[in-house]
Structure 1
Amino acid sequence: MAANLATEIVSTRTRRGNRSRWLTVVATPVGAAATVALSALLLLAVVAPMLWSDWANRTDTAQILHGPSSEHWAGTDNLGRDILARVLVATRLSVELALLATLIMVAAGLVLGTLGVLFGRRVGRVVAAVINIAVAFPGLLLALFFAVIFGIGTKGAVLAIGFAGAPGFARLVQTLVAGVEPRDFVLAARVAGVNRFRILVRHVLPNVGEALIVNATIGAGAALLAFAGLSFLGLGVQPPNYDWGQLLGNGLTGIFEHPIAALAPGIAVVLAGLAFNFFGEAMAKGIGVTTTLGKLRLPVVKPPEEGAIPRKEHADDVVLRVQDLRVSFPTAHGAITPVRGVSFGMARGEAVGVVGESGSGKSLTALAVAQLIERPARVSATELSFLGTDLRRGATRADRELLGIRFSMIFQDPMTSMNPTLRVGGQLAEVARRHGGLSRAQATDRAVDRLDAVQIPDPKRRAGQYPHEFSGGMRQRAMIGMGLMGDPALIVADEPTTALDVTVQSRVLQLLESIRREQDVALLLISHDISVVRQVCDRVLVMYAGQIVEDLPTQDLHASARHPYTRALISVVPDMHTALDEPLAVIPGRAPDPASFPAGCAFAARCPLATDRCREQMPPLETDAAGRRVACWHADQPQPLTPEKAKAVS
């Protein structure tokens, strides 16, 4: 089985759409132009000194302070040196010093901004107060202050600009870290005993790194402008070295007679600053872009290649058989049995919905079938088989492999079902590695492929993210992708649309429906919302107080429901004809406590048709000629009108 699954993984073609989102930086005209400009600037910084240094340093007393000409495009300075060549050669020193100052700014800002994580809240509050005071002063004033402290010259200017920008960057780091620190995956790491430095490096900084890189890029442009300003004032680069700021200062002395001498380095400073800033803005937009799906595209989920995974076919094509399933929990006052005698079966490709109020036993039934209920709870059944394998005998290794590959469980809340400290791709890959025997690389490829199959945009990048970085709908689709890591014959979806808005809910339901039809997979959909089940399922099981009280086709749900509880569930769902000026319909009373179920029908206390027989004798689940099942002494009997409805009819 593992070898066959590995063959399937290796043969799966690479899907489109796996580009890194950093490439989206050049997807817009502004981003492309900024990328070209910044690349040209960096290239010029490398090659200009090699090509034009001699020309830039060559003095010619016969050409002093000449204007632009064919020989000197930007004219000459007071020693007859070519101004354009000097501006080009100064690119390297100007860019190098700006990047070095930016590096100091980032390093100091990271240290200051993360002290609270490393040493606790008290230290963090003190550092925050210092940062707030420093940020209150203008950056140029801080730069001048540090320039006086560190001294005039290149070294002093670099340190001055770096430390002047550090408070602003530190505040950014503090803000971003404060947004990540309370997240579940960080708290889980602390509970697990991970030290603070490892939490910072492993869990916090990777989740804020992209924003910091973007702001550092923009900060490099600001540092370049600031450095030019200090050199212009005579506090930066000193002769015989020169950068754009010094050239600008030299040219400004004769600006009225020879304006091009100041204009050329000024243009260089502005263009370089714009290149850094526009590239940073393009990075911000590119990183923030989420792929728009537009019109929903139902995925074509290819079934495994022939022979990839052996299937157990049966004459009746039954996937699941459950007969008289019971789940009980021991207590100090005796056993409690919240699931009492549940019986049903499912065929390949069939969609069955399970509806009922909270506490009716829906999820416990699914967990019992999936062998996920542990001791001291006790699960018993007359028959409990999956693909012909008897699950009552205990979880053998073969049973675990069968359930791991052919049985898929989609839990109600993916945020709590997924490990917040592990990346999504790794959690999906674990299924194939543990149950399919795949290597790490093969399992990772499979995880990316499954994320793509459930319409996760940019699946390769998303596989490397943590669950908190996914939206609610994406987490739910990732859970579905986890269920597709093997070759499921049955998918159990436990409230897969809880807490999702109607648009995302519709997409998740259509995705499940598409997978069911494409792969001929049986689907057991658990929900408290009867309208959700009606959209997807062929058949509905209505549960109340741990029992199935009605089993009928979905198409008969509204017109031919026979049990009063089923009719009550339908009546409380608002529709387009619900009166807006009247209270919404509710089911009176509350479900019985599993510790004290009544002797007769559990719904009798809330049923308008209940008689003494209902309160004393439990009705059996009987099957009619059409194959529908119902457990009610008064099935098909018309339900009396409530006083409100009677008043409305009159």
Structure 2
Amino acid sequence: MTATRVRKRARPNAMLVTGLVGLTALFVLAVVAPWIWGDRADELGPSVHLGSSGEHWLGTDALGRDLFARTLVATRLTLELAALATAIASIAGTVLGTLIWVSGPRVRAVGLRVVDVMISYPAVILALTIAAILDPGPKACVIAIGVAGCPSFARLTANLAASVAGRDFVATARLLGVPSLRLMRRHILPNIAEPLLVLVSVSFAHSLMALSGLSFLGLGVQLPDYDWGQLLSTGLQSLYTNPAEAVGPAVAIVLAGLSAGFVGDGLAARAASTSGNSAAVKPGSRKASASAPVATGTDHSVPDDAVLVVSDLRVRRPDGTALVDGVTFHIGAAEIVGVVGESGSGKSLTAMAAARLLPGGLRAEAHALELRNPGAEPLALAAPGRDGAAVRRRLATEIGIVYQDPSASFNPALRLGGQLTETLRVHLGVSRREARERAVEQLEFVRIVDPEARLRAYPHELSGGMRQRAMIASALLTRPRLIIADEPTTALDVTVQAEVLALLRAANRRDGTAMLFISHDIGVVTDLCDRVLVMYAGRLVEELTAAELRDGHARHPYTKALLAATPRLEPDGEADGKLDAETGDGLLAAIPGRPPQPDERPAGCAFADRCAAVLPVCRDTPPPVRVLAPGRTVACHLPETGAPVPVQAGPKAGRHDAAVEAVG
């Protein structure tokens, strides 16, 4: 059955249309009014303080000038001043928010607190203070209103930038060595433009009202010039003798403010209709951190062709809580190493530490964390300082990343071609034409139809599977030494999963690229990988070959529990006998409880509360790391780790369809 896509025609937003029509009419009036009514607005007449009539719709003022014409002519100066104040607020505030965001965590924290204090004071009060210090006049008022509006833009820019900074395409740009200011201008500002535009329209309405208010108080536009606020002030003096004199500017101010407000509300509604935590540290709840597990036996050496070497890696929060605790492994050339474990086990943090892409506030420490390349010095990846161009080039060209969510893999504001070729052009000095040719070659390799047209497309014009293929092509463009695939098939349907896994395997065979593959699916890992790392609560509990895992030869109770909870593809009675003895004929097993929070991990084995074979020593003493063979370790207190571990049986596992079999 083929799926058909139904495209719904967007219904026009009545509020947005009304606001845009109103503002357009006002701006047209601001352009033409001085030409048409300028002479009449300044012409003195013998009839003063006349009421409304067919000749003078709003009457005349104390000098016999036509008030209707003066109200229309005042539109230009009023809108000019409001636009200038809005421009100052938006530009200066956005720049300030950008500088706060790129200045590092300490400056960012102080800057945001200062901005919050400024926002807590009403903008009009701040504007009055500035206008009182400066000489009264339109220039002082524009500066005052503009400065008063800056904090709102600064806070919105900094907060939105922080939310977008966690997206995968920003992490990729950081890996490419894009400077902070260019990262902000090219990748972040275009993706936060819509809420900023909403704030611009609202700020315009506020600026217009505030400027009119300052002119009304005599601090703004001075005679002989006039704007709506100045006309309103003059009209109120004759409110009881000629009320029509105040009607014109009052209605104009209200209509202009409503039009700008309608535009802001309409943009906000449109954005809402089109748009598709860290746990708190409990004082005293964290038990004393145990020392690193003690290895028993002879530790296996790292091979000479190792691409990634990780020794005693620890990733910590600012408060010292260890999220990843003492992880050690290596990846050889052309080897695919899988990492499995429940959510929160530290799989992605371990991978991102190797790519220097840890979230802000986390720090990595390691005895050794190196990216190796024959003929070059090992690239230390832990605790990076200020990297030079050579280090950034190696990071960008020797590590490729395939992220979990294909919809967040690319910058939605840029065309695909520029994003795919950026690494080649910036770090390898490849010409634009050659870079596009290489991009086309890689897109063909990942089986994307019409690659030339895809390079001209925006990411949202590709399906999820095509975006993931394009991300694989992007990771392969520089022929990296290491590819980090962070759950690259989670967001895809099973048929596309199988195709993506086949592409990763083909890339590994074609280029000899080492790969760190992260997944929740043991079936996928055993089918794709050479070796498997099992992580639990930030620690590496077992390392074994994919064949041993596939055959059920796990030693650690947690690994056995994961296997028992994995659906079997064999019919009832045909499953591996050893696994049947532990899980029951065709039954899935449930792992009771859940992993402990990082600040609540016990001093001993973190799996003790969920383990059916727990020993008294498990709760207080860290399990030793037993080296059973090269590339074969287990961290467990059980004297015979090969002994069966009882598990809780769950519902009976059914047969999978062909698509699942193709993946698993």
Please say if 1:508 is aligned against 2:543: no
Question: Which residue does the alignment assign to 1:251?
Answer: 235
Question: Which residue does the alignment assign to 2:576?
Answer: 563
Task: State how far apart, in whole Å, the 1-side matches of 2:84 and 2:23 are.
Answer: 17
C-alpha displacement at 1:455, in angstroms? 3.2
Q: Which moved more, 1:174-183 or 1:85-94?
A: 174-183
Task: State how far apart, in whole Å, the 2-side matches of 1:532 and 1:333 are.
Answer: 26
Question: Which residue does the alignment assign to 1:241?
Answer: 225
Please say if 1:56 is aligned against 2:41: yes
Q: 1:207 to 1:130 in 2, by over 3 A?
A: same
Q: 1:291 to 1:16 in 2, by over 3 A?
A: farther
C-alpha displacement at 1:591, in angstroms? 12
Question: Which residue does the alignment assign to 2:469?
Answer: 480
Task: State how far apart, in whole Å, the 2-side matches of 1:572 and 1:493 are.
Answer: 37
Q: Match for 1:279 among 263, 268, 273?
A: 263
Q: Is the 8 A contact 1:90 1:244 kept in 2?
A: yes
- Describe how 1:78-93 pairs up with structure 2 within 5 A: 78-93=62-77
C-alpha displacement at 1:110, in angstroms? 3.8
Deviation sequence 1:253-301 (CA, Å, 0-9, x none): 1222322221221111011112122212322333454465xxxxxxxxx
Q: 1:144 to 1:332 in 2, by over 3 A?
A: closer
Q: 1:364 to 1:187 in 2, by over 3 A?
A: closer
Deviation sequence 1:25-81 (CA, Å, 0-9, x none): x8312122222222222222112222221232233323x333323333333323333
Task: State how far apart, in whole Å, the 2-side matches of 1:190 and 1:588 are.
Answer: 45
Question: Which residue does the alignment assign to 1:547?
Answer: 547
Question: Which residue does the alignment assign to 1:161?
Answer: 145
Task: State how far apart, in whole Å, the 2-side matches of 1:494 and 1:139 are.
Answer: 49
Q: 1:569 to 1:157 in 2, by over 3 A?
A: farther
Q: Match for 1:434 among 415, 434, 438?
A: 438
Q: Is the 8 A contact 1:113 1:171 kept in 2?
A: yes
Question: Which residue does the alignment assign to 1:627?
Answer: none
C-alpha displacement at 1:643, in angstroms? 9.8
Q: Match for 2:246 among 225, 238, 262?
A: 262
Q: Counterpart amino acid of 1:557?
A: E
User: Sequence identity of aligned pairs in percent?
Assistant: 33
Q: Is the 8 A contact 1:189 1:199 kept in 2?
A: yes
Question: Which residue does the alignment assign to 1:47?
Answer: 32
Please say if 1:150 is aligned against 2:148: no
- Describe how 1:610-625 pairs up with structure 2 within 5 A: none
Deviation sequence 1:362-410 (CA, Å, 0-9, x none): x987689xxxx9988xxxxxxxxxxxxxxxxxxxxxxxxxxxxxxxx99
Question: Which residue does the alignment assign to 1:595?
Answer: 630
Deviation sequence 1:326-351 (CA, Å, 0-9, x none): xxxx96387999xxxxxxxxxxxxxx
Q: 1:32 to 1:422 in 2, by over 3 A?
A: closer
Q: Secondary structure at the match of 1:27?
A: coil
- Describe how 1:96-495 pairs up with structure 2 within 5 A: 96-116=80-100, 130-179=114-163, 197-202=181-186, 204-290=188-274, 332=301, 411=402, 413=404, 425=416, 426-428=418-420, 433-434=437-438, 436=440, 445-447=453-455, 451=459, 454-455=462-463, 478-482=467-471
Question: Which residue does the alignment assign to 1:74?
Answer: 58
Q: Which moved more, 1:268-277 or 1:125-134?
A: 125-134
Q: Is the 8 A contact 1:188 1:421 kept in 2?
A: no
Task: State how far apart, in whole Å, the 1-side matches of 2:518 and 2:175 are.
Answer: 33
Q: Secondary structure at the match of 2:61?
A: coil
| Structure 1: gaps spanning 5 or more residues | 1-14, 293-329, 338-358, 377-408, 457-475, 486-491, 599-603, 609-640
Q: Counterpart amino acid of 1:150?
A: L
Q: Is the 8 A contact 1:189 1:421 kept in 2?
A: no
Q: Is the 8 A contact 1:453 1:481 kept in 2?
A: no
Question: Which residue does the alignment assign to 1:36?
Answer: 21
C-alpha displacement at 1:219, in angstroms? 0.9
C-alpha displacement at 1:86, in angstroms? 1.6
Q: Counterpart amino acid of 2:572?
A: A
Task: State how far apart, in whole Å, the 1-side matches of 2:145 and 2:468 are.
Answer: 48
Task: State how far apart, in whole Å, the 2-side matches of 1:88 and 1:129 are.
Answer: 43
Q: Counterpart amino acid of 1:260?
A: A
Q: Secondary structure at the match of 1:559?
A: coil
Give the TM-score of the pair, scaled to structure 1: 0.53
Task: State how far apart, in whole Å, the 2-side matches of 1:247 and 1:567 are.
Answer: 90
Give the TM-score of the pair, scaled to structure 2: 0.52
Q: 1:579 to 1:236 in 2, by over 3 A?
A: closer
Task: State how far apart, in whole Å, the 2-side matches of 1:147 and 1:36 are.
Answer: 33
Q: Counterpart amino acid of 1:283?
A: L
Task: State how far apart, in whole Å, the 1-side matches of 2:627 and 2:408 are.
Answer: 29
Q: Is the 8 A contact 2:442 2:473 kept in 1?
A: no
Alignment RMSD (CA, Å): 5.9
Deviation sequence 1:412-451 (CA, Å, 0-9, x none): 7468996999968244568963163699xx9673146595
Q: Secondary structure at the match of 2:200?
A: helix
Q: Secondary structure at the match of 1:547?
A: helix
Q: 1:284 to 1:259 in 2, by over 3 A?
A: same
Q: Is the 8 A contact 1:161 1:223 kept in 2?
A: yes
Q: 1:267 to 1:413 in 2, by over 3 A?
A: same
Q: 1:51 to 1:557 in 2, by over 3 A?
A: farther
When you count helix as a share of all residues, which structure comes out higher? Answer: 1
Q: Is the 8 A contact 1:410 1:480 kept in 2?
A: no
Q: Which moved more, 1:108-117 or 1:260-269?
A: 108-117
Task: State how far apart, in whole Å, the 2-side matches of 1:262 and 1:237 are.
Answer: 17
Question: Which residue does the alignment assign to 1:12?
Answer: none
Q: 1:450 to 1:157 in 2, by over 3 A?
A: closer
Deviation sequence 1:515-546 (CA, Å, 0-9, x none): 99xxxx9xx9997547999xxx9x9x999833
Q: Counterpart amino acid of 2:463?
A: Q
Task: State how far apart, in whole Å, the 2-side matches of 1:46 and 1:66 are.
Answer: 28
Q: 1:235 to 1:74 in 2, by over 3 A?
A: same
Task: State how far apart, in whole Å, the 2-side matches of 1:56 and 1:587 are.
Answer: 92
Q: Which has the larger radius of gyration?
A: 1
Q: Counterpart amino acid of 2:143?
A: L
Task: State how far apart, in whole Å, the 2-side matches of 1:170 and 1:450 are.
Answer: 29
Q: 1:335 to 1:565 in 2, by over 3 A?
A: farther
Deviation sequence 1:126-184 (CA, Å, 0-9, x none): 65565454434322222222112221122222222222323443343444445556777
Q: Secondary structure at the match of 2:570?
A: helix
Q: Counterpart amino acid of 2:40?
A: W
Q: Is the 8 A contact 2:568 2:586 kept in 1?
A: no
Task: State how far apart, in whole Å, the 2-side matches of 1:232 and 1:84 are.
Answer: 18
